[in-house]
Amino acid sequence: MPEAKKYLSATDAAMGRLISLVGKTQVRSEQELSVFQSLVRAIAYQMISTKAAAAIHQRLIAQCDNDLQPQKLLALGENVIRETGFSGAKTKSLLDLADKFVRGQLPDDATLDALDDKALTRRLTEVRGIGDWSVQMLMIFNLRRADVFPATDLGVRRGHMLAYGLDEMLDAKELRQASTVWQPYRSVAAWYLWRANDCVDWSSAAATDSASAAGVGVAAKKRALSKPALSQPRASKSRASQPSASKPGASKPGASKSKVNKSRGKRPG
C-alpha cells in the first residue's frame, strides 16, 4: 500500500490531498474468508446501510453456529434466513449461491482466484442476485486485486464529489473514465474515496485551504512591497548623444562596422 499511496499522490494532486487528510489507514481485508463467505457478505451489504447490513449478516452467521458454509446455509431454509432480516430477493440469492457451490457449478477458491477479472465476473454473475458490484467487492477485499474500480458504488461516487469539490456526483460512466488516472492502483483509490465520506471533516479542510491560500497571498504581497522600485532610465539631453541627420553622400550608420566585419570574413548581422 505505501507504493500505491506514493504513486497516487504523485499522479493526482487532489488524490494526494485526500490521502493526506484521511491519514493512516489500511484497506479492509477479507482474506480470512472463503469466496463463498465473502459473496454472502456482499449480498448482505447490497443497497442498505452498513449498520443494518452488519446486523443481519451477523445474525445469519450465528444461525450457522458461527461457521458459514454452503451446506449449513441450505439447511437453514428460506424461512429462517428471512427471519434474520434478509429480503426475499436476497434470500433467494443466498440459496442459489450455496446450491451452486454444493453442486460444483462453482469451483473451489483457487480455481476462481486464477481467473482474470472478466472471466471471474462472468462466472459469478451466473448466480442469482450477484452483479458486477458484488464481484468487485470480492476482488478488492478477498482476492486483493489492485486495479478494481466500483464506479457504480454510491459511496465511491459521493467521496469523489467531496474530494474533488464538485457540485454533484459524476455518473458511473464519467467516473470510470476519470479513474484511468489511478491505474494500476484503482482499488486503493476507491478505498480512499470511501474514506472521504467518514474520515474527513470537509468544512475544516476547506477552512484550512482558505487560510493557506490567504497566507500565500499576503506573503507574496509583502515580498513585492519589500523590493526596491526600479528607477527608470533618464533620457540624455546631450547633443552628442543625439544621432545626426544623414547628409547626401555620407556613410550610413553601421557602414564602418560592416567593413570591419567584412575584413574578418563575416557578414553583418
> Which carries the bigger pLDDT value, residue 171 or residue 265?
171
For the cut 60, the answer to whether the pLDDT of residue 233 exceeds it is no
Write the pLDDT tens digit of every residue in 48-72: 998 999 999 999 999 999 999 999 9
Sign of the alpha-carbon torsion through 84, 89, 90, 94: positive
Confidence of residue 205 (pLDDT cuts 50, 70, 90): confident
Mean pLDDT of 222-235: 52
Of the candidates 204, 178, 193, the residue with the CA atom closest to the CA atom of residue 25: 193
**Summary mean pLDDT of the chain:** 84
Question: Cα 23 from chain centroid?
Answer: 15
Write the pLDDT tens digit of every residue in 172-203: 999 999 999 999 999 999 999 999 999 888 88
> Which carries the bigger pLDDT value, residue 213 or residue 201?
201
CATH (residue range 30-143): 1.10.340.30
Of the candidates 179, 203, 206, 210, the residue with the CA atom closest to the CA atom of residue 192: 179
3-class DSSP assignment, residue 230? coil
pTM higher than 0.85: no
CA angle (197 as vertex; 194, 200 as ends), nearest 5? 110
What was the pLDDT predicted at 43?
Answer: 96
Question: Cα 75 from chain centroid?
Answer: 42
CATH (residue range 1-29+146-206): 1.10.1670.40
Mean pLDDT of 248-257: 41
Mean pLDDT of 104-133: 96
Long-range contacts of 118-126 (CB under 8 A, 24+ apart): 124/39, 126/100
Mean pLDDT of 99-126: 96
For the cut 70, the answer to whether the pLDDT of residue 251 exceeds it is no
Residue 231 C-alpha cell reads as: 528607477
What was the pLDDT predicted at 266?
Answer: 39
Write the pLDDT tens digit of every residue in 6-22: 999 999 999 999 999 99
- What residue ranges of the chain are covered by domains with CATH 1.10.340.30? 30-143
Confidence of residue 145 (pLDDT cuts 50, 70, 90): very high
- What residue ranges of the chain are covered by domains with CATH 1.10.1670.40? 1-29+146-206
> Which carries the bigger pLDDT value, residue 230 or residue 174?
174
What was the pLDDT predicted at 126?
Answer: 96
